[in-house]
Chain A
Amino acid sequence: GNSVTQMEGPVTLSEEAFLTINCTYTATGYPSLFWYVQYPGEGLQLLLKATKADDKGSNKGFEATYRKETTSFHLEKGSVQVSDSAVYFCALSPMNTGNQFYFGTGTSLTVIP
């Protein structure tokens, strides 16, 4: 079946630290992979996506590379800011499943000055 396993939080980092949030997936075929960000009290915003193996999605300093050999899509940022404090969700959209999505459980990130 299809599933996403995401690194448990919460994660607390100092400003300018390096961020990695791990995400691995199970899916048949070639799904699309996503990272969404949710700020307190708000909906989810699409942060980045990748649609095929070895693609790198990037946005606002965040990056993630679609690794089919390790079925992973880890989120990274070289230098986090206080404004990056939020909950991050990894998700996949499989092939041929009527447009359904599968979400990880979310990882809460707090960046302290």
Chain B
Amino acid sequence: DGGITQSPKYLFRKEGQNVTLSCEQNLNHDAMYWYRQDPGQGLRLIYYSQIVNDFQKGDIAEGYSVSREKKESFPLTVTSAQKNPTAFYLCASSIGGLGGPDTQYFGPGTRLTVL
């Protein structure tokens, strides 16, 4: 089955610790995205990558970092610099490379709680 996996589903972190959220896709998509969702809110774009070894900041990149060393993987690190990291994190991917309209497919999400 093709799809996007995110792990873990629930993650707890102590204040001051960095934590890395995993996102893997086997859809052979070029583009991948990370969003943050707060309770009762819409989605806000953190980072996105259109191709391996390249990524761009989204609207709320401060306190986050990413890497794109492999086409199928786009891990997100939430650093201690992120002031309010407790949220639901969603990874998505799309075919990309079109320079035009595309369709995004989402993973099941990771709920991060800072204790």
Contacts and interface: CB of A to CB of B under 8 A. Distances in A.
Whether chain B is bound by chain A comes out as yes
A90 B97 CA distance: 23
Contacts of A41: 109, 111
Contacts, number: 66
Interface in A23-44: 30-32, 34, 36, 41-44
Contact of B48 (A31, A49, A100, A104): A100
Contact of B42 (A32, A42, A89, A95): A89
Contact of A93 (B48, B97, B101): B101
Interface string A31-66: 110101000011111100101000000000000000
Contact of A42 (B33, B56, B104, B109): B109
A31 B100 CA distance: 8
Given A99-B96, A105-B42, A43 B102 contact: no
A95 B43 contact: no
B50 interface: yes
A101 interface: yes
Contacts of B97: 99
B96 to A, nearest CB: 5
A105 B42 CA distance: 4
User: B33, B90, B100 — which one has the most chain A CB atoms within 10 A of its CB?
Assistant: B100
Nearest to A108: B40
A43 B21 CA distance: 15
B115 interface: no
B50 A98 contact: yes
A51 B101 contact: yes
Interface of A: 30-32, 34, 36, 41-46, 49, 51, 89, 91, 93-96, 98-101, 103-106, 108
Given A34-B103, A100-B48, 17 more contacts: A30-B101, A41-B109, A42-B109, A49-B103, A51-B101, A95-B101, A98-B56, A98-B99, A99-B48, A99-B50, A99-B96, A99-B98, A99-B102, A101-B102, A101-B104, A103-B43, A108-B40
5 contacts: A32-B102, A44-B43, A89-B42, A89-B43, A103-B42
